[in-house]
């Protein structure tokens, strides 16, 4: 994975990610995650992690954002910002990497925390040889 600490995430996505971070539903882990992505059509979609009393049914923030995008009819994205109050900033879990790969294998992933620490990688760098049919 490439680490480019000085690379700056897009300001609108950063603000959108922190805004939805506030809406994370995390009574079990208390670990908030916010995600905001830009679709190929230029629309910004947000997602937060939404947990469940049946723990395995919780939904990650990145997947919530992808669901919002795809539900609105968009089918590709170019960049996503993922924010956490963690050091180093969290990187998407394995399942999220595959979900991101479906709609944006070339997309840029910015991982950011409260201190402004940024890690940057493409989806393909995070998930080499991601699964696709055919
Ligand atoms: N989580 C995400 O939202 N994205 C990830 O990529 C990894 C983990 C969430 C799931 C759970 O609600 C909390 O973080 C702690 O694992």
We report the CATH number of the domain holding residue 70 as 3.40.140.10
Q: Looking at the 3D structure of the chain, how many domains does it have?
A: 1
Report the Cα 117 to chain-centroid distance in Å.
16
76 lies in a domain?
Answer: yes
Q: Where is 103: in which H helix or E strand?
A: helix 94-103
89 lies in a domain?
Answer: no
- pTM value is 0.95
130 lies in a domain?
Answer: no
111 lies in a domain?
Answer: no
Q: Which of 22, 51, 62, 124 is catalytic?
A: 62
Looking at residue 3, what is its pLDDT? 45
58 lies in a domain?
Answer: yes
Q: Where is 13: in which H helix or E strand?
A: helix 11-21
Structural domain for 27, as ranges: 14-83
Looking at residue 47, what is its pLDDT? 99
Mutate to test the pocket of ligand 1, among 17, 47, 93 (most ligand atoms within 8 A of CB): 93
109 lies in a domain?
Answer: no
Looking at residue 24, what is its pLDDT? 99
Mark the ranges of the chain whose per-residue pLDDT is less than 70.
Answer: 1-6
């Amino acid at each position: 994975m490439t680490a480019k600490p000085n690379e700056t995430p897009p300001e609108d996505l950063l603000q959108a990610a922190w805004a939805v971070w506030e809406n994370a539903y995390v009574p079990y882990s208390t670990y908030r995650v916010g995600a905001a992505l830009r679709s190929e059509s230029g629309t910004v979609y947000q997602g937060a992690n939404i947990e469940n009393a049946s723990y395995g049914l919780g939904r990650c923030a990145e997947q919530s954002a992808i669901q919002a995008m795809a539900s609105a009819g968009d089918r590709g994205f170019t960049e996503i910002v993922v924010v956490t109050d963690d050091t180093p900033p969290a990187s998407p879990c394995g399942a999220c990497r595959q979900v991101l790969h479906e709609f944006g294998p070339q997309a840029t992933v910015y991982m950011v925390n409260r201190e402004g620490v940024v890690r940057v990688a493409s989806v393909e760098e995070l998930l080499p040889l991601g699964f696709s049919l055919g």
